[in-house]
Amino acid sequence: MDIEQLREYVLQKPFVTEGFPFGEDTLVFKVKEKIFLLTGLDSSPLRFNVKCDPDKAIELREEFPDNILPGFHMNKKHWNTIVVGSAIPKKLLEKMIDDSYNLVSKKK
């Protein structure tokens, strides 16, 4: 997955907006005015932060210690930083995005 594939996947979800509230290097995706994914445009390999159930976050970090890390500049209990690479299947990347979207969109 590259930045364009990530963007395309995220923007097909209902009510998603994108913007640059933290500067031109950080692309932020929101649903209901709340952030559910953000990514640095200058990172190589691609990295993005997603919200995650706290127990699942720990489980994923243990399973992929080099590619799923505590959320950089985020609440480490609820956010993971995903380093995209061959170790994480595309379906899992999409599931983590979906889970983040669902967690945030359910909040009022």
pLDDT digits (tens, 9 = 90+) for 52-81: 999 999 999 999 999 999 988 888 889 999
The whole-model pTM stands at 0.93
Residue showing tokens 């595309």: 90
For residue 44, give the CATH number of its domain: 3.90.1150.30
Q: Which domain holds residue 78?
A: 3-106
Q: Which two tokens stand for residue 29?
A: 């995706």
Rounded Cα distance between 48 and 6, Å, is 9
Structurally, the chain folds into a number of domains equal to 1
Closest CA to 52 of 6, 7, 96, 91: 96
The string of pLDDT tens digits covering residues 38-51 is 999 988 899 999 99
